[in-house]
Amino acid sequence: MFEIDRIPKSVIEALNTRGVCSDGLLLSAFCDRDQALMPAQIYLFADKDELLLLQGVAVTERHGNRHGASPKAKEVFRVLSLDRYPISDLKDFCVEELLSAGRLTAKKREDGTPVFLSSFTNFRKASLLLFAKYAEKLASGEPLEIDPKDDPASKRCPKCGLRYPDLNRRVCPHCMEKGKLFQRFSVFFLRYRISIVFMVLSLAVLTAMSILAPYFSSGFFYDEVIYGTGEFAGQILTVLFLVIGTRLCKVLASMVNNYVTSNIAAKMVFDLKKTIFSAIERLSLSFFTGRQTGGLMTQVNEDANTIYSFFCDGVPYLIVNLVQVAVLTVLLFTIQPVLAILTVITVPIFVLVLRWLFRKQKMFHAKRYSHSKQMNSFLADVFSGMPVVKAFSREQAEIDRFTGKNKNLAQSEKKLALFTNYAWPMAGMLLFLGNIIAWGVGGYMVMTGKGGMTYGMLLTFIAYLNMIFDPLNFFTDFIDRTADCSNSMQRLFEIMDAQPDVSECENPICPDPLGGSVEFCNVSFSYQKGKKIINDVSFEVPDGGILGIVGHTGAGKSTLVNLLMRMYDADEGEIRIGGYPVRELALSSIYQNVAIVSQETYLFMGTILDNIRYARPDASFEDVVEASKCAGAHDFIMRLPDAYHTRIGVGYQDLSGGERQRVSIARAILKNPKILILDEATAAMDTATERRIQEALAELIKGKTTIMIAHRLSTLRDADELVVIEHGKVAERGTHRELLQKENGVYKMLFTLQDEALKSAGIRE
């Protein structure tokens, strides 16, 4: 049985006592609501003949002697009702979505009356969608073949059994192996091993010198030089030189450290960003449509910085700080064990308080960050919508809205500043507490001479004591940094490991030249499961032919193009270019031979020349000029101050929609593809511009296989054949003339309608 949800044994038993043999059941799922949307336990089963709905309550019954030692607890499913439907009487299994819940319904096969099977909350939606899908198959008498993608096991973490929170991202946050992450990453990190060795070494010297410094300046200076006892008695110059020497070493080490760090930082961030960017570029289009582009940009930037700062800032300091704390503790205890114990007691308190402070501060930071983000997006929104604001004279309202956001931001900034100003001096007080103990107890010891304490030793002791707090400060923050970094690395690896949805087959063929014919054979496709955008579409265009595709917005026209370009793979059926299935062709072969001019033209920042040459960077100047003349772009380009070297893009020369379109056509002409796709290329133009571009296009499509997609039917006059797409299906096919002769034809209607509209507007095409 395909258990979409796990069925408890007690339920199977209950089913058996009701005379249903559970062995033959093929499908099962669980619903958590009844028809009236009240909480309930309803199990659905299906086999070849029947659909069963078992409603009941799971209870725990205790058996045996009431006074017995161990009454056996047993799960029992008390059946409230059992509904049975002959499954072949039902059709159109469907999940109707409510707001936070849904209904599983079907229709009677004979008269289409709806049948209410059960309700559920959206927690169960994924399961019930599957149930509907397979129940439909059973009802129509098809054999039950389970798509491995639908297996619920693939939706759970194999280790802990918990469902993945995001099915597109099969990562179980509970079982993510941090160790492995860091291990995998260290390979990347090892590239810089020499620099890192230098870094750790310089840091070690730095720390050693910091530890030595008080020893000379306090210990020797007071106890030996000034009191005149011991080895260095009276040798003030020697000790001074020692002090200066340690200081110089320290400065030198810190210079080396800074040099290495700045070098490695730039290099590593560069490498990281390159890795992330190339990993992203490799992926199929669906990856980008599924996410926000803005999110991707921050990901490239922020993740690189987080990872870098962890490995370059965090790890070396961690090592050095660990050593420092160990050495300092040993030193403190050797100087005066009793005093050390007394003062070190304050350390755990200090650490706890620090942790609390960090948490608190982070929250204030996060709040401020979120407020400033809100403010920024508000500003971006209003400034780009300025024409609308002016047109509706809503300036004052926008000022008020701004004031609100501004106030929030100011307030959270004030809170953060106040916190920082109050909290840290308080933490300083705790630090001071350790000092006070040292001064008091240590001073007493020096005065009475107990414990062999001298004034110099006390000064050294206090200097060390204060040095121990810095690393502690670092450690408390380090835990959170580790978490941040592992998150960033996780995301990075996720992208690096992501398989492009569309990948070349093992031995892609690269025929040269590739023929220009295009065939769609029974192609079906859906972006989302269950919603077929393209449904069994077939047509063919001979080499050099012109095909027009007509249809409403959302009919699936552009999807056809995406499929041909292999931005996505068809779920069913086959697409062939020049007789070769696109799946077997090398992607580069497809991209070389197919060009798209679409309604949304994207021109990159750079010169017009760069943009036209984008498809063929090695094109000669003659070719570029020729192409833009064909596209009707040359004239307007020559009117620009820097002609072909005019920079376009944000902050530079602004081109009008028609001009951009002509540049993009020039780009396509320069590519000189076998197959040309015009996806609403002129939809956004006024009639005069459209006419001009039409002429340019007429030049472009000579001798090429062309697929034209258009709303405006007049655009398609030159097409050899027209395909009318409706709801993802081919509704009609034929030439313009043939289609016009069809009574009640969709095309005929569209045509008459547009014709009339034009007539009534006084325009004759």
Partner 1 sequence: MNHHPPMPPRGERGEGRGKAHKERTLEQISVTVWLTPENASFSMKNGFLYITCNGIEQRAFLCRQFPFELLWEFISVLDEEQCEIGIIRNISLFADEAHKLLTDELNRRYYSPVIRKIHSMKERYGFSYWKVQTDEGEVSFTLHDTYRSIIRAGGGRVILLDVDGNRFEIPDVEALDRRSYKKIELYL
Nearer to partner 1, 4 or 594 (CB): 4
Q: Binding to partner 1 by residue 122, rule CB under 8 A? A: yes
Peptide bond into 513 cis (omega under 30): yes
Q: Binding to partner 1 by residue 248, rule CB under 8 A? A: no
β-strand 27-33 against 2-3: which pairing, if any?
parallel
Site stretch for partner 1 (CB under 8 A), options 216-224, 242-250, 417-425, 748-756: 748-756
Nearer to partner 1, 507 or 553 (CB): 553
Residues 6+ apart with CB under 8 A from 303: 272, 276, 488, 489, 491, 492
Smallest distance from partner 1 to CB 680, Å: 8
Site stretch for partner 1 (CB under 8 A), options 11-19, 48-56, 119-127, 351-359: 119-127
Nearer to partner 1, 39 or 143 (CB): 39
Site stretch for partner 1 (CB under 8 A), options 21-29, 379-387, 568-576, 676-684: 676-684
Nearer to partner 1, 123 or 270 (CB): 123
Token pair in block for residue 357: 């402070």
Q: Which residue has the tokens 């313009």?
A: 736
Q: Binding to partner 1 by residue 114, rule CB under 8 A? A: yes
How many Å apart are CA 648 and CA 654, to the nearest integer? Answer: 6
Nearer to partner 1, 572 or 726 (CB): 726
Smallest distance from partner 1 to CB 550, Å: 9
Q: Binding to partner 1 by residue 711, rule CB under 8 A? A: yes
Nearer to partner 1, 115 or 351 (CB): 115
C-alpha 464: how far from chain center: 47
Q: DSSP string of 102-124?
A: EEEEEEETTT--EEEEEEEEGGG
Q: DSSP string of 692-737?
A: HHHHHHHHHTTTSEEEEE-SSGGGGTT-SEEEEEETTEEEEEE-HH
Triad 561, 563, 566: Cα angle to 5° = 115
Token pair in block for residue 490: 């996780």
Smallest distance from partner 1 to CB 101, Å: 5
Token pair in block for residue 27: 């499908």
Helix (H) or strand (E) holding 352: helix 346-384
Q: Which of 342, 625, 746, 758 binds partner 1 (CB under 8 A)?
A: 746
Nearer to partner 1, 64 or 86 (CB): 86
Site stretch for partner 1 (CB under 8 A), options 40-48, 529-537, 661-669, 743-751: 743-751
Q: Binding to partner 1 by residue 753, rule CB under 8 A? A: yes
Given a contact cutoff of 8 angstroms between Cβ atoms, the answer to whether 563 and 570 are in contact is: yes
Report which residue type is found at 688: A
| Helix, strand, coil percentages, rounded to 5, for the chain | 55, 20, 25
Smallest distance from partner 1 to CB 753, Å: 4
Residues 6+ apart with CB under 8 A from 58: 8, 10, 11, 41, 75, 76, 77, 78
105-113 long-range CB contacts below 8 Å, 24 or more apart? 106/135, 106/139, 109/139
Residues 6+ apart with CB under 8 A from 178: 482, 486
Nearer to partner 1, 86 or 114 (CB): 114
Q: Binding to partner 1 by residue 240, rule CB under 8 A? A: no
Q: Which of 166, 231, 281, 497 binds partner 1 (CB under 8 A)?
A: 166
Per-residue binder mask for partner 1 (CB under 8 A), 366-395, x = binder: xx--x-------------------------
Nearer to partner 1, 122 or 403 (CB): 122
Smallest distance from partner 1 to CB 467, Å: 35
Q: Binding to partner 1 by residue 99, rule CB under 8 A? A: yes
Smallest distance from partner 1 to CB 119, Å: 8
Smallest distance from partner 1 to CB 418, Å: 17
Nearer to partner 1, 328 or 713 (CB): 713
Nearer to partner 1, 250 or 371 (CB): 371
Q: Binding to partner 1 by residue 744, rule CB under 8 A? A: yes
Q: Which of 53, 76, 144, 171 binds partner 1 (CB under 8 A)?
A: 171
Helix (H) or strand (E) holding 51: strand 50-63
Q: DSSP string of 354-418?
A: HHHHHHHHHHHHHHHHHHHHHHHHHHHHHHHTHHHHHHTT-HHHHHHHHHHHHHHHHHHHHHHHH
Residues 6+ apart with CB under 8 A from 320: 200, 203, 204, 206, 207
Site stretch for partner 1 (CB under 8 A), options 32-40, 249-257, 377-385, 448-456: 32-40
Q: According to CB under 8 A, which residues from 514 to 573 bind partner 1? A: 551-553
Nearer to partner 1, 171 or 625 (CB): 171
Q: Which of 19, 39, 452, 762 binds partner 1 (CB under 8 A)?
A: 39
Q: Binding to partner 1 by residue 36, rule CB under 8 A? A: yes
Q: Which of 319, 427, 750, 758 binds partner 1 (CB under 8 A)?
A: 750
Site stretch for partner 1 (CB under 8 A), options 94-102, 235-243, 466-474, 638-646: 94-102
How many Å apart are CA 364 and CA 416, to the nearest integer? Answer: 5
Site stretch for partner 1 (CB under 8 A), options 107-115, 143-151, 279-287, 633-641: 107-115
Helix (H) or strand (E) holding 198: helix 193-214
Q: Binding to partner 1 by residue 760, rule CB under 8 A? A: no
Q: DSSP string of 409-478?
A: HHHHHHHHHHHHHHHHHHHHHHHHHHHHHIIIIIHHHHHHTGGG--HHHHHHHHHHHHHHHHHHHHHHHH
How many Å apart are CA 301 and CA 6, to the nearest integer? Answer: 43
Q: Binding to partner 1 by residue 23, rule CB under 8 A? A: no
Q: Which residue has the tokens 């579409």?
A: 537
Number of residues that bind partner 1 (CB under 8 A): 46
Residues 6+ apart with CB under 8 A from 450: 444
Site stretch for partner 1 (CB under 8 A), options 33-41, 327-335, 341-349, 457-465: 33-41
Q: Binding to partner 1 by residue 448, rule CB under 8 A? A: no
Smallest distance from partner 1 to CB 597, Å: 16
Q: Which of 100, 298, 522, 741 binds partner 1 (CB under 8 A)?
A: 100
Q: Binding to partner 1 by residue 281, rule CB under 8 A? A: no
Given a contact cutoff of 8 angstroms between Cβ atoms, the answer to whether 611 and 667 are in contact is: yes
Nearer to partner 1, 350 or 364 (CB): 364
Smallest distance from partner 1 to CB 358, Å: 15
Residues 6+ apart with CB under 8 A from 637: 608, 628, 643, 644, 646, 663
Report which residue type is found at 105: T
Q: Which of 22, 55, 88, 121 binds partner 1 (CB under 8 A)?
A: 121
Nearer to partner 1, 367 or 647 (CB): 367
Residues 6+ apart with CB under 8 A from 658: 685, 686, 689, 692, 693
β-strand 50-63 against 72-86: which pairing, if any?
antiparallel
Q: Which of 233, 698, 749, 759 binds partner 1 (CB under 8 A)?
A: 749
Q: Binding to partner 1 by residue 726, rule CB under 8 A? A: yes
How many Å apart are CA 694 and CA 686, to the nearest integer? Answer: 12
Q: Which of 322, 363, 386, 418 binds partner 1 (CB under 8 A)?
A: 363
Q: Binding to partner 1 by residue 757, rule CB under 8 A? A: yes
Q: Binding to partner 1 by residue 490, rule CB under 8 A? A: yes
Report which residue type is found at 365: H
**Residues forming the site for partner 1 (CB under 8 A):** 35-37, 39, 98-101, 113-116, 119, 121-123, 125-126, 165-166, 171, 173, 176, 363, 366-367, 370, 487, 490, 551-553, 680, 683-684, 711-712, 726-727, 744, 746, 749-750, 753-754, 757
